[in-house]
Amino acid sequence: MPSQPFTIALSGKGGTGKTTVSSLLVRSFLELGEKPVLAVDADPNANLHEALGVTVGESLGSMREEAFSRQIPPGMNRHDYVRFRFRQSLVEAEGFDLVAMGRPEGSGCYCFANDLLGECMQQLQREYRFVVIDTEAGMEHIARGTIGKPDMLLIVSDPGARGLRTVARIREIATQLGLENEKIFFVVNKYKTGSAPVDIGSEEPIAIIPADDAVENADLAATPVSSIPEASAARMAVLALAEKIRRMAKDRVER
């Protein structure tokens, strides 16, 4: 039996680097030979594909109306059709696939896309090692349960006190929703060396990712941030994080 993929959801306040870290995580898993990876863009303002340098045709959100209202082809039931369309909306790239959830349409709820995603994911023939879910800013996904119960929640924060308060708030909501505390970690991003030590209270971040000009330059040049040089500080820090996560995923399997 194929083992379940290890799912990692990234959360955090706006602009902290969720998309950047998500894309670098995907890249790192590939570098470690952990493929295939599924990248899920759960932000309605989807831009994970840009960070990964791929183009998205159709999001699950826009597929939804169509797949459920249209005449389905003869010989196919609605379920098969939705599954078929799901596979069509999957972007296949080198070592990873990407699916964009898109905007909620009609009733304005993600539940459908989420249930569908869950079901289709299980149906997927390909066995993913890791699933990386980039969520929108804020706690919407967690509050609405959109991202389900990931194996790991990474809360991305800048080193400032306000960011860290958000970490505490997101953690609280996530635990209230039934995610075990030991599955929740926080990542400090854009850390400037030489600046004051991160005031983390009692909590240890699972990773500290430096502020990196290479990330900024990729942004300015509109090139995929996941392709910044291997030796760049942010990329190396995320690779180390991916190695840690890989060990944790292995431990889970062995338990």
Ligand X SMILES: Nc1ncnc2c1ncn2[C@@H]1O[C@H](COP(=O)(O)OP(=O)(O)OP(=O)(O)O)[C@@H](O)[C@H]1O
Question: CB neighbours (10 Å) of residue 135?
Answer: 25
49 binds ligand X (CB under 6 A): no
Please state the separation of Cα 87 from the chain's center in Å.
19
* Structure tokens given for 25: 């995580």
Neighbour-count burial of 230, counting CB atoms closer than 10 A to its CB (0-12 exposed, 13-18 middle, 19+ buried) = exposed
User: What phi and psi, each to the nearest 5 degrees, are found at residue 99?
Assistant: -130, 135
Question: CB 229 → ligand X: shortest distance, Å?
Answer: 13
229 binds ligand X (CB under 6 A): no
* DSSP label of 183: G
Question: CB 133 → ligand X: shortest distance, Å?
Answer: 12
89 binds ligand X (CB under 6 A): no
194 binds ligand X (CB under 6 A): no
Give the sign of the dihedral formed by CA 80, CA 6, CA 26, CA 194.
Answer: positive
Which of Mg ion, ligand X, none does residue 226 bind (CB under 5 to 8 Å by kind)?
none
Which of Mg ion, ligand X, none does residue 215 bind (CB under 5 to 8 Å by kind)?
ligand X
Question: CB 226 → ligand X: shortest distance, Å?
Answer: 11
Question: CB 144 → ligand X: shortest distance, Å?
Answer: 17
Site residues for ligand X per CB under 6 A:
12, 14-20, 43, 137, 189-190, 209, 211-212, 215-216, 219, 234
